[in-house]
Structure 1
Amino acid sequence: MKTVIKNAKIIIGNGLLIEKGSIAFDETGILDIGEGVFEGDEVIDAAGKTVAPGFIDCHIHLGTASYPWTHGLFEEYDEVTVGIRACYQAQALLKSGITSVRVVGTKYGADLQLRTMVENGEIKAPRILAAGEVICITAGHGSEMGTECDTVGEVLKAARTRVKQRANVIKLMPTSGIIGIGPSTEVQLSEEQIKAACDVGRAFNTPTCAHVMNYPAIGQCVKAGLTSVEHGYELDEAAAKMMVEHGTWYIPTAVVTRNESIYIPADYLPGADMKAKAAIAQQSVQNAVRVAIKAGVKMAVGTDTGCPYTDPEHFAYAEELAIYKNCGMDPMDVFVCATKNGAELLRISDKVGTLEARKIADLIIIDGDPLRDITDARKVERVYRSGKLYYEA
């Protein structure tokens, strides 16, 4: 069926805008886009609304107990429970306008199986690019959803196993984080271990990403050839300059610290001081985003959905966009980060990320104009993935 959306403000995704136009598409892809009016089997009048490419979230987790939040993440759950949670959490992302995600760590590698089910059309959800289990040290950050490695050889084996599993990215945990006892910036994987994983990624043409907080670890990752730095809360001018020189991507995940500092109970995980650490990290990451914008670091959007109170019910994706805008990014550039840049990082820009003829019809209708008021990004009315209506408010 050919669908036409007319009279809409259309954000192309590459920095260009059609103030009042139409887009025609079906399940084969985008058929036409421009200022004219096209014929269709279904014609939707979107006057006063905005059409944009489907959002891309480059950093999420599935299968956790985070939405609805209970009291833990993975520890108590078996494979069946994690799989069920992953299914309905993936489906819930559609209401935020998300049509593609990169899952960067799931217990039991459940995201790898879920990816196949989504590809086969068994589950109506965003397309999934999966990391499987993360690579971490024994008892280190992420160990509840990871393969524990304490030597270079163990890291090499784990990274090669991800390649064998057809993982879309190899995820490393070089530092600690907010969740857990102790400081959130402790270095855990060695420089040699980081390099070993990145070498495997290059050898097999598989991207690498890393949960990394402080400058020493950021520098080690960038020098090793890491594809993307995740979080990077202590990113400074020197690190940003190095990232620009190496073409390293930055995924801030700023909303997770915001939400944890607001919503998480003060007494959660006694001794961890998560609420206090999140509040400090929120200030740090906003400064990191400003530094990255000024330096011209390549950025894409990630929310860390799957962590406490970071989910569609708390408008995680729209809040992440608002933080970038509030840190000085032009609203149009925010949408480039959310669409075109995400597709480039995920290596799917030949298919999605911008609204162009012959690309896959991943697009959303927003009630309002998020270029004027970024909070309108919350008001997603319709979501089309591969030309099919996947969500309607």
Structure 2
Amino acid sequence: MNIRIPRGTQDILPGTSEQWQYIESVIHDICRRYNYSEIRTPIFEQTELFQRGVGDTTDIVQKEMYTFEDRGGRSLTLRPEGTAAVVRSYVENKLYGHVSQPQKLYYVGPMFRYERPQSGRMRQFVQFGVEAIGSADPTLDAEVIALAMDFYKELGLTGIKLVLNSLGDQESRSSHRQALIQHFQPRIDEFCEDCQSRLERNPLRILDCKKDQDHPLMETAPSILEYLNESSQSYFESVKECLNQMGIDYEVDPGLVRGLDYYNNTAFEIMIEGKGFGSITTLMGGGRYNGLVEEMGGPESPGIGFALSIERLIMALETQNIDLPVVQNLDCYVVALGKEPANKAAAIVTELRRAGVSADKDYTFKKMKGQFKVADRFGASYTAILGDNELEKGVINVKEMSSGEQQEVSLEQFVSYIKHKLEVESE
């Protein structure tokens, strides 16, 4: 039986997985510098979490979730995004009572959405996201945005653009909601079934519809910026002023609404400009979600965050021909000639590894020439040759691959010799 990988998933093979590891190392480092701590939540949660947290009117909940019933009859869903699960954990573990507020958290992990696979969009994909919960300070919005911008820039991406909008507070959104209903209602029958069902439930979602994005009413729809009350307008101005002081350029787009129901006030996306990236130009998105913690049963705790796809990031890096500084070379490869030397070589590579040196040996009974080819393939800095004669003398021949120089070293001193040579090279 020929079993193949499920559609919309991928195997990340050696040679590529090192890129992922490097990106993840940058994530951990930049979050450390911004004082964000890692949180890890389950891959599946109760379905109600996403229905309440993401929103019944979203495409994610209506069409894209992987939902199943377990043996106990409970409805569970593979997580389609990270924010709802983090907020659930924040409430359940009473992180709102922690002495350090806001709680500044980040996560990296797989998400699942049943949608049409395409370049940069998978059914299982990996998200990096941050959530800062417990403060309504507009400078925190700017900090979250700065973290995202710095992350992309540290990986070498150019032509990235920050797009901002404000969705306003509850009062502002209510006024805008009525204006949208009045705008779309006379011709709502010209829109798709999803938009028709959203007219009364959540008309803001109509603006996010991909099917009807070219309808003339979309271009003339009332802007949320026209309905911001004084408080919402002041908040938005503070966010922009802080970004100005940070030296972060941005563009205000009144049509940016984001695809999840929990956003309010600040909403943002980072896009990539330039040819070769296909139809998908948005790299990441995020925004403020005051009220979501209360929806999950917690106390009033304003929050803001973002999420980005690692797959889409890698696609952007490839488009711009950016080679990540991934180190794949082996420090030392031990060439063993004969049964007894092969047994000794197994012990030697173990000693090297325990000393912090990356090392390997042959396990397929290749002759010396073949073993040297493998050492070259691994990019070994040093190759150590051990035969019966060397074993009898208690020595090993060490060859520096870059210069071709060869030196006989006692077996007792071999590990310290290699460590010293590598330390000198790294200085």
Band the TM-score falls in, shorter-chain normalisation? under 0.3
* Structure exhibiting the larger radius of gyration computed from Cα positions: 2
TM-score normalized by the length of structure 2: 0.19
TM-score normalized by the length of structure 1: 0.20
Which structure has more relative contact order (CA 8 Å, sep 6+)? It is: 1
